[in-house]
Amino acid sequence: MKSIEKFYYNINSGRHVCVGLDTDFNKIPEFLKHSDDPVFEFNKIIIEKLSPFVAAFKLNFAFYEALGQQGFLTLEKTVRIIPENVFTIADAKRGDIGNTSQMYAKSVFDYLKFDSVTVNPYMGEDSISPFLNYNDKLSFVLALTSNPGSKDFEKLTLKDGEFLYQKVINKVKEWNKNKNCGIVFGATNFSELKNSMTDLASLPLLIPGVGAQGGSLNEIVKLMNQVNHNDFIINVSRSVLYKSNGEDFAEAALSEMLSLNEQINNPA
């Protein structure tokens, strides 16, 4: 199954939750910290328990790069054990001059075999095109992110009256010749998301910011249903990974996962 097909297979099967494997050694259960590769052991158990119920797993590279060589090995081992039918996202936020982005694209797609990547559009089309040349892979472009600092640049008003994030969305629509572009739009900017849904109609959405960051799952799901936009995945991390810090952590994560699926597929 091609990567893009995998994305649509999962969402059309009613799976819209992406679990971010942003695994922090300091937050995993104590009994795992004595293993040879504690972060990998934690990830392995989470993946085995949750895979039948998730749309995707997203690995934020920072949590692995911070551990040096061992961290990169852990990242590589983790992505290799994710079942073939589960969509994978390299949350690396890449974007550089063309030849550098080409190497980044080779790393995440050819070597690590991720299905998709997050990319930063700040340097323009030539910094994104090496990723888009992989026709069967999705690239999620940062538009309006969930962090407080998003207002510093992403919400700037341009001379033509558009916000900068709106200009990004419209540019992505121009770049989307291979139908392999998506958008990252933070749940914490709900009113902006609601006002942008016409422009986002043809684009898959990766929506972070639900849970610990304050975004409302219920609001997002109601909006997607109202505008009949099914091509979305909602990222959750801490609220699932660290639901329990005991030996029952996997069962607690599964319980939270099932609750999220129920809220999405049968909203109040």
pLDDT tens digits along 77-104: 999 999 999 999 999 999 999 899 999 9
Catalytic-labelled residue, pool 93, 155, 167, 171: 93
Confidence of residue 53 (pLDDT cuts 50, 70, 90): very high
pLDDT of 27 > 90? The answer is yes
Instruction: Note the pTM of the prediction, 2 decimals.
Output: 0.96
How far apart (Å, rounded) are the C-alpha atoms in residues 147 and 145? 6
Report the pLDDT averaged over residues 51-66.
Answer: 97
* Structural domain 3-263, CATH architecture: Alpha-Beta Barrel (3.20)
Query: For the chain, what is the radius of gyration of the CA atoms?
Result: 18
Q: Three-state DSSP class for 261?
A: helix
Is 137 catalytic? The answer is no
Percent of all residues in the chain with a pLDDT value above 90, rounded to a whole number: 93
CA atoms within 13 A on the CB side of 78: 31
Q: Residue range 120-139: average pLDDT?
A: 97
Q: What is the dihedral of CA 85, 89, 90, 92, to 10 degrees?
A: 180
Alpha carbons 115 and 108: distance in angstroms, whole number:
8
d(CA 236, CA 220): 13
Question: Is the distance from CB of 98 to CB of 132 less than 8 angstroms?
Answer: no
Q: What residue ranges do the domains of the chain occupy? A: 3-263
Distance separating alpha carbons of residues 23 and 37, to the nearest angstrom: 12
Q: What's the mean pLDDT in 158-183?
A: 96
